[in-house]
Amino acid sequence: MRDRGIYLLPNLFTTGALFAGFYSVVQAMNGRFEHAAVAIFIAMVLDGLDGRVARMTHTQSAFGAEYDSLSDMVSFGVAPALVIYEFALQGMGKLGWIAAFVYCAGAALRLARFNTQLETVTDKRFFQGMPSPSAAALVAGFVWVMVEYGVDGHEVRWLAAFVALFGGLTMVSNFRYYSGKEINLRKSVPFFVILLVVLAFILVSTSPPEVLFIVFALYALSGYADALLRRMRRKKAADAPPPLRGDGK
């Protein structure tokens, strides 16, 4: 069978994301946690670009999909788990590495479930469970904020364990998370949308660690809020009196 080759452009972005994840691991091992956290955010940006570039240039392939999934496991599974372990959890003994492993396993299970359900998902507007890049951003944002304020990891080890467990378990939950996949970058938008984008860039640039951590913490909680609201609506509908029937005449 003739070798079809590999599309270069989208896989360059995937390779960049993989390198950023590997760089994050190396920097965490060297105790440079700010660099490690920033590298995870860079991997997240590159991961968001590879799929869009592939679709825009019509260079999607089965190889690219598999390569992207393996890259995600390194950048958003292994790297965040190791970063938060090296930063705060290693002094907790077994509890520390168990919390880090729960996060890592959650990322692996989340990616496996996503890959197997890719063709069967009917509502593309939502993800089932928090996406692994968002969970990685939550963990990296937490570490970045602590480093920014000079907080030693040992002082917040229990909070770090909670963040790792929360991220890992939320990835494998059944809560809905907005995907943003219906956003079409080729369509025209009102002027105020561009204004909001500019304001968002300004806000992030003023204090990146705090803003990014807050944004992804709110996104992580949005799935729980959505589940609570839907449950309240179902309960309200169940408690509502049945409609009155006619007298049959």
Q: What φ, ψ does residue 128 adopt, rounded to 5°?
A: -95, 110
How far from each other are the two terminal CA atoms of the chain, in whole angstroms?
A: 75
In a domain? residue 244: no
CA distances from 109 to 47, 102, 139 (A): 18, 10, 18
Task: Categorize the per-residue pLDDT at 192 as very low, low, confident or very high, splitting at 50, 70 and 90.
Answer: low
Residue 63 has pLDDT above 80, yes or no: yes
Q: Which has the minimum average pLDDT: 132-146, 194-208, 217-231?
A: 194-208
Q: Is residue 169 in a domain?
A: yes
**pLDDT (0 to 100) of residue 171:** 95
**Domain of 62: which CATH number?**
1.20.120.1760
User: Does residue 25 contact residue 131 with C-beta atoms inside 8 Å?
Assistant: no
In a domain, 239, yes or no: no
Is the per-residue pLDDT at 45 higher than 90? yes
- Rounded CA-CA distance 146/160 in Å is 10
* pLDDT tier, 184 (very low <50, low <70, confident <90, very high otherwise): low
Give yes or no for a contact between 125 and 181, defined as CB atoms under 8 angstroms apart: yes
- Domain count along the chain: 1
Question: What tokens were used for 242?
Answer: 């049945």
42-49: average pLDDT: 92
Asked if residue 194 is part of any domain, the answer here is yes
53 in Cβ contact with 13 (< 8 Å): yes
> What residue numbers bound the domain in which 109 lies?
8-234
pLDDT average, residue stretch 79-91: 95
